[in-house]
Chains A and B, each alone.
Chain A
Amino acid sequence: MHPATEKLISALSKLPVSVEACDYQERGYHFEIDLEVDKVRALAECMLAQGMYLVFVGGLHVKPAIEIVYQFASYERACRFVVRAVVKADNSMPTISDIYQGANWHERETRDFYGVVFTDHPNLVPLILAEEDVDLKPLLKKDEDLKEMAEVRWAPPIEEKTEAEKAEQG
């Protein structure tokens, strides 16, 4: 592992945040973090201090609550993080747009699509959607399409293999 990546992971473990390594060939990212909502800002500050940039902020509608997905990567080395945090009970999330200014638009877009309120965001008005469509929330799933959080996670390795084999055999 690259020394800078080791340093980042040790800094993250002090928050404390548990980082899980992933197979890049299989998933396209190196580490995943399931985060408590009150640590989002601390994690963003830690990422910025270690020179990571914000790739995107997006939403994911699953049962029981909406998840916000952050992706961070490095300009210097192959090191990509997927961070997931479940929104608070009142459908809100602390903003990171004062830490990563690039998050400003991503958070406005996520509010457009999912209705998640980013607390303390300086300008949470519709960005992509028109102002009259403020309550449209187009990416929320219908009840019949909504899946449990565990249903969209990677299955244990044994099951994964059989899936891959099936795909190969067609």
Chain B
Amino acid sequence: MGNLAGNGAVHVDLEPAADILKDNHYYLNMGPQHPSTHGVMRVLLEMDGEYIVNPQPVLGYGHRMQEKMGEHKNWMAFMPNTGRMDYAAALPYNHGFVALFERLCGIEVPIRAEYIRVITSELNRLVSHHLWMGAFLLDLGAFTPILYTFDDREQVLDILEDITGSRLTYCYFRVGGVCKDIDDNFVEKTRAFIKRQRERFDIYNDLVTGNIIFIKRAEGVGVISPEMACRYGVTGPVLRGSGIAYDVRKNEPYSVYPNFDFEIPVGSNGDCLDRYMVRLQEMEQSLRIIEQALDQLPDGPFLGKVPKKLKMPTGDCSSAVESARGELTYYLVSGGGDIPYRLKIRVPSYSNLSVLPELGQGILLSDLVTTMGSLDLVIPEIDR
């Protein structure tokens, strides 16, 4: 960590690919429809044989101008949009957005609601990591693991569906609380899931973690140094794989996270294997948080008293939460009234992917697939 300070600017040559190709270089389009880009994204690759000279991501295929919509809707009308950016982990997006208005308008949230938010957010983090694990290994050519992780993912989706009403694009949180209380059935099912999931980790480890083919594909590939991460603003499991224990839940604690005892897993080399290990350990930490939250779950209301039409003071306000992919920051500028004057959404995948042009230089095409898979990209989140 100490080596971050004192570093000056580093010159990185990221010129766009030249019109005239050198020697026998050629262009290769990966995407816009390619299974391992996990959405409509294109990577324009300048290749020398099987080695990549210059990878340039081409974004915007799924652009919906969410920030413009944010300037025309009040919080309630924009709420469903938040769940449609990062479809794999929608609840942290809900969380950051409602926290913004609660902070700006000084709204108290009942303590039970904060516990429900943490439990459901952590369940959503598990769902997201299940999806990532299956898809990442599928990218590497391992078909079987996705059948196991999706089996577990279905268990959580069923639990979340009961209380949120949806399986993917959640719109469950409200300013001042959540829209529906959890019941004994939820608690019972969640406890059963925790027990089951702990046993499943052994299967994951037997099937994947020690697998020599997997290790050969992931170890030493796509190494992100802490200094490089700092220059690009990398966050989340990608950053923690590089050995920096930065997590918004610990660093700028929000909600009731200070009440729980959990660890921040970190890697040491910053390669794809470390990022895999970090996410795997994070799943166990999420289970720990959920377990403690269920034990401590207080009684009381699940939705506080909130005026029908919020009256925001003028000024700006920022709200950061830890989504499954890293730091998600909403930055709102208010000119009064109930509709934001400006809503900037800083998404983690965007900064994490911006490393790729530097990271992908000189590596094999097959290693690029591993590297992109380990970054855990959700393209609609990047395009917004």
The yes or no answer to A58 lying at the interface (CB within 8 A) is yes
Tell me whether B106 and A164 are in contact (CB under 8 A). Answer: yes
Q: How far is the CA of A66 from the CA of B307 in the complex (A)?
A: 33
Among residues of B, the one whose C-beta sits closest to the C-beta of A123 is B16
Tell me whether B233 and A129 are in contact (CB under 8 A). Answer: no
Q: A27-B318, A28-B319, A152-B316 are in contact. Are A105 and B233 (CB under 8 A)?
A: no
Among residues of B, the one whose C-beta sits closest to the C-beta of A151 is B335
Residue among B103, B314, B329, B358 facing the most chain A CB atoms (10 A cut-off): B314
Q: How far is the CA of A169 from the CA of B105 in the complex (A)?
A: 11
Tell me whether A54 and B233 are in contact (CB under 8 A). Answer: yes
A54-82 residues with Cβ-Cβ distance < 8 A to B are 54-56, 58, 60-61, 69, 71, 73, 75-78, 80, 82
The yes or no answer to B354 lying at the interface (CB within 8 A) is yes
Residue among B1, B103, B316 facing the most chain A CB atoms (10 A cut-off): B316
Q: How far is the CA of A52 from the CA of B312 in the complex (A)?
A: 31
Tell me whether A105 and B354 are in contact (CB under 8 A). Answer: yes
Task: Mark the stretch among B60-68, B284-292, B365-373 that contacts chain A.
Answer: B60-68
Tell me whether B314 and A49 are in contact (CB under 8 A). Answer: no
Q: A154-B316, A167-B307 are in contact. Are A75 and B230 (CB under 8 A)?
A: yes
Report how many residues on chain B are interfacial, defined by Cβ distance under 8 Å: 68
Q: Pull 28 A–B residue pairs with CB atoms less than 8 Å apart, ordered by A.
A: A25-B103, A28-B318, A28-B320, A48-B7, A48-B231, A55-B233, A55-B329, A58-B342, A60-B342, A69-B344, A71-B329, A73-B320, A76-B1, A98-B9, A99-B9, A101-B232, A101-B358, A122-B16, A125-B16, A128-B60, A151-B314, A151-B336, A152-B333, A155-B313, A160-B313, A167-B107, A168-B107, A170-B306
Q: How far is the CA of A29 from the CA of B330 in the complex (A)?
A: 12
The yes or no answer to B76 lying at the interface (CB within 8 A) is no
B residues touching A (Cβ–Cβ < 8 Å)?
1, 4-12, 14-16, 59-60, 63, 65, 67-68, 71, 100, 103, 105-107, 229-234, 239, 244, 246, 251-252, 305-308, 310-320, 327, 329, 331, 333-336, 341-342, 344, 346, 350-351, 354, 358, 383-384
Q: How far is the CA of A155 from the CA of B313 in the complex (A)?
A: 8
Q: Which chain A residues border B344 with CB–CB below 8 Å?
A: 56, 58, 69
The yes or no answer to A16 lying at the interface (CB within 8 A) is no
The yes or no answer to A130 lying at the interface (CB within 8 A) is yes
Q: How far is the CA of A52 from the CA of B305 in the complex (A)?
A: 39
Q: Which chain A residues border B305 with CB–CB below 8 Å?
A: 170
Tell me whether B354 and A50 are in contact (CB under 8 A). Answer: no
Q: How far is the CA of A125 from the CA of B60 in the complex (A)?
A: 13
Q: How far is the CA of A56 from the CA of B246 in the complex (A)?
A: 17
Among residues of A, the one whose C-beta sits closest to the C-beta of B329 is A55
Report how many residues on chain A are interfacial, defined by Cβ distance under 8 Å: 61
> Which residue of A56, A77, A129, A167 is within 8 Å of B60 (Cβ)?
A129
The yes or no answer to A14 lying at the interface (CB within 8 A) is no
Q: Which chain B residues border A104 with CB–CB below 8 Å?
A: 14, 354
Tell me whether B9 and A56 are in contact (CB under 8 A). Answer: no
Closest 6 CB pairs of A and B: A170-B307, A154-B315, A51-B4, A28-B318, A102-B232, A56-B346
Q: Which chain B residues border A155 with CB–CB below 8 Å?
A: 313-315
The yes or no answer to A163 lying at the interface (CB within 8 A) is yes
Q: Which chain A residues border B4 with CB–CB below 8 Å?
A: 51, 75-76
Q: Which chain B residues border A102 with CB–CB below 8 Å?
A: 231-234, 351, 354
Among residues of A, the one whose C-beta sits closest to the C-beta of B334 is A152
The yes or no answer to A147 lying at the interface (CB within 8 A) is yes
Q: A101-B14, A170-B308 are in contact. Are A80 and B318 (CB under 8 A)?
A: yes
The yes or no answer to A139 lying at the interface (CB within 8 A) is yes
The yes or no answer to A127 lying at the interface (CB within 8 A) is yes
Q: Which chain A residues border B329 with CB–CB below 8 Å?
A: 55-56, 71
> Which residue of A27, A45, A139, A170 is within 8 Å of B67 (Cβ)?
A139
Among residues of B, the one whose C-beta sits closest to the C-beta of A163 is B313
Among residues of B, the one whose C-beta sits closest to the C-beta of A50 is B5
Among residues of A, the one whose C-beta sits closest to the C-beta of B382 is A128
